[in-house]
Amino acid sequence: MTMLRLYSGALYLFLYTPIALIILFSFNAGRHATSFTCCSAEWFARALDNPFITEALLNSAGVALVSALIATVFGTLAVFGLERVKGPLRVFYDALTYCAIIIPGIVIGIATLIALVTTFNAVNPVLAAVWPTAWGEAPSLNMGFGSVIAAHSLFTMALVIVIVRTRVQSLDKALLEASADLYATPLQTFFSVTLPQIAPAIIAGFLLAFTFSFDDFIIAFFLAGSETTLPIYIFSSIRRGVTPEINAISTLIIVFSLAMLFTARWLETRRQPTAA
């Protein structure tokens, strides 16, 4: 037991020491990221005053917000659709859902890139042929925020499905039957009985989807084209050397991501109050 505790402690130390060092060096008063001089918060102000960083930050936030909304809406609808599927077909759909979570991001990025490039190459000539000349030059489908949002929505939708389905399966069926006995329509039952009970899980799924989309680098790197998100900006910056400004940005991302994840976890495990 002692060896197991030592092993667990060493594992967590190995995982979280680099993160702690990033947070520590973000308060560096010096100009070099590798030598620490205590202590200053000036790099946070510099990072937030940098127009390239703020633009990349807004891009990431916009992509994450749209992706999370799409994933939450369609993921929640998919849960109720899957509840009506039984047998081997249900097992097949469950396997597809978990595959989207298990498959590495680089595989998803490459596969989506190939699929979109093939589609764009087929659609753009047709679009150019049928586009009226009086309307000007025909639009061309290219990589950008739209392709990143599409890939993130499909990837994070699996997270929403897993989270919301757990709450749906724990619903008190007696409440649904009582609503039907009182002649409520299925739509009225959903908004008055089902939705209030699964709302914490839906919000938790949205927060997780937002966090995963906001932090993603690999998929965005393949699909963003000429656009820049915050993880892509950080990757491009560290190729020229790590600065305390990058540490400050990373610290803000860490704090934000942890806050979102803990909030999602709290909402996911929060129990609904029982009726008197």
**Interatomic CA distance for residues 73 and 79, integer angstroms:** 10
Lowest mean pLDDT among 18-27, 169-178, 214-223, 266-275: 266-275
**What is the pLDDT at residue 32?**
66
- Cβ proximity of 121 and 141 under 8 Å: no
**Is the distance from CB of 156 to CB of 71 less than 8 angstroms?**
yes
**Percent over 90 (pLDDT), the chain:** 9
Residue 108 token pair: 């998803």
The pTM score is 0.79
Rounded to whole angstroms, the Cα distance separating 265 from 268 reads 5
129 pLDDT higher than 70: yes
pLDDT at 63 (0 to 100): 93
* Phi, psi angles (nearest 5°) of residue 38: -80, 145
Q: Smallest Cα–Cα separation from 127: which of 69, 136, 67, 257?
A: 136
pLDDT of residue 66: 95
Portion of the chain with pLDDT greater than 70, in percent = 93
CATH number of 56-269: 1.10.3720.10
Q: What does the longest C-alpha to C-alpha distance in the chain come to?
A: 78
Alpha-carbon distances of 65 from 59, 101, 152, 154, 214, rounded to whole Å: 10, 19, 11, 14, 8
pLDDT surpasses 90 at 74: yes
Q: pLDDT tens, 146-164?
A: 899 999 998 899 989 988 8
User: What gap in Å lies between CA 221 and CA 148, rounded to an integer?
Assistant: 9
Every domain of the chain and the residues it spans? 56-269
Q: Please report which confidence band the pLDDT of residue 270 belongs to, taking 50, 70 and 90 as the band edges.
A: low
Cα angle: 188, vertex 194, 197; to 5 degrees: 140
d(CA 97, CA 202): 17
pLDDT at residue 274 is higher than 60: no
Residue 66 DSSP label: H
Work out the average pLDDT over 187-205.
82
Q: Is the pLDDT of residue 273 over 50?
A: no
Query: CA 146 to CA 224: how far, in whole Å?
Result: 8
State yes or no: pLDDT of 67 exceeds 50: yes
Instruction: Report whether pLDDT(28) > 80.
Output: no
Residue holding tokens 């087929």? 122
- Mean pLDDT to the nearest integer, 48-73: 90
Whether residue 76 contacts residue 204, with contact meaning beta carbons closer than 8 Å, is answered with no
pLDDT of residue 275: 41
Is pLDDT larger for residue 242 or for residue 79?
Answer: 79
- DSSP summary character for residue 171: S
Cα gap 25→130, rounded to integer Å: 57
